[in-house]
Amino acid sequence: MSTAVLALQHINKQFGHGHTAVTALNDANFEVNAGEFVAIIGPSGSGKSTFLTIAAGLQTPTSGQVLLNGQALTKQSEKERLAYRFNEIGFILQSSNLIPFLTVTEQFKLVDKMAHRPFQQSAALELLNELALSDVKNAYPNELSGGERQRVAIARALYNDPSVILADEPTASLDTPRSIDVVQRLAAEAHQHNKAIVMVTHDQRLISHCDVVYRIEDGNMTRDNTATAQ
C-alpha cells in the first residue's frame, strides 16, 4: 500500500474516438507525499494540463485511478467533486485565481463563508506574514504586483488546509527573480507545513528547487531521479 497523499495509477486519457482519437496521457503513474514539492515538467501540449485536471477531479480518466489519501476518486457526482476540490485541493493558477472584487483578506473570508465557519483571523494573518503580504492585506488584486498576486494565491491555497496543492504554471507571468522567489516559497511551505505541492511548469530553471521531478512528453510520464539535488 502506498502512503502517498495523492497517487495516480495507470492513468490513460483519450479524447475522441477511432481514427481521430488523441491520447493525452498514456499509462501515467504519479505519487506525491506530504511535505514533498514535486514538479511536472514538459513542453506545451505534452499532457500537463490533462494531468492536472484529472488530479483535480475536473475530468475523469479513460482508465486508471486517482487515489487521495488511499481512497479512489472515480465515479463521483459533480457535487462530490466540487466538495473534493474545495476541501482537499488548493489551487494556484497560471495568471491568478484571485477574485478581482475581494481584498486580500476577503479572499480568505470567502473560503470561510463557503465552509460555513467564522473567519480564521489568526491563521490568515500568520500566512500573510509568512508570505510577506502583511502590508497589502486590504488591497485588491489589481493593486498588487504579479509576484504579490501569486503569493496571495499561495496563501489562499494553504488557508483551507488542503491535502494537496496543485500549481498550474504559477510563474508563467513572472520575471526570473520573482519566479525563483515564488518557487522557493512553495518549497518552503511544502516543507514547513508538511504539505504535498505539485507544480506543473515548462520552465527548466525552476526544477532545482523541487524535491521530485516528473517529465512528461507526448502523454508519457516518467520520474526523473537525476534532475534534483537529492
109 counts as binding another protein under rule CB under 8 A: yes
- Residues 129-188, interacting with another protein (CB under 8 A): 140, 168
Pick one of 114, 176, 184, 192: the residue that binds another protein (CB under 8 A): 114
From the list 15, 82, 138, 176, which residue makes contact with another protein (rule: CB under 8 A)? Answer: 82
> With CB under 8 A, what is the number of residues at the site for another protein?
32
| Residue whose grid cell is 505541492 | 197
CB atoms within 10 A of CB 86: 14
Q: What is the C-alpha separation between 56 and 150, in angstroms, rounded?
A: 19
Helix (H, G, I), strand (E, B) or coil at 195: coil
Residues 110, 123, 180, 227: which binds another protein (CB under 8 A)?
A: 110
Q: Which lies closer to another protein via its Cβ, residue 33 or residue 60?
A: 60
| Least separation in angstroms between CB 3 and another protein | 25
Whole-number minimum distance, CB 90 to another protein, in Å?
Answer: 8
If phi over 0 gives left and psi between -120 and 50 gives alpha, with beta otherwise, what is residue 122? alpha
Is residue 132 within 8 A of residue 147, CB to CB? The reply is no
Per DSSP (E only), the strands in 117-195 are 164-168
Q: Which of 63, 69, 87, 129 binds another protein (CB under 8 A)?
A: 87
- Host H or E run for residue 136: none
Give the Å distances, CA to CA, from 205 to 41, 145, 210. 11, 22, 11
Residues in the chain: 230
Near another protein by CB under 8 A: residue from 19, 101, 122, 226: 101
Beta carbon nearer to another protein, 21 or 58: 58
Residue 215, interface with another protein (CB under 8 A)? Answer: no
- Asked if residues 82 and 23 have their Cβ atoms less than 8 Å apart, the reply is no
Binding residues for another protein (CB under 8 A): 48-50, 52-53, 56, 58-59, 78-79, 82-87, 89, 91, 93-94, 97, 99-102, 106, 109-110, 113-114, 140, 168
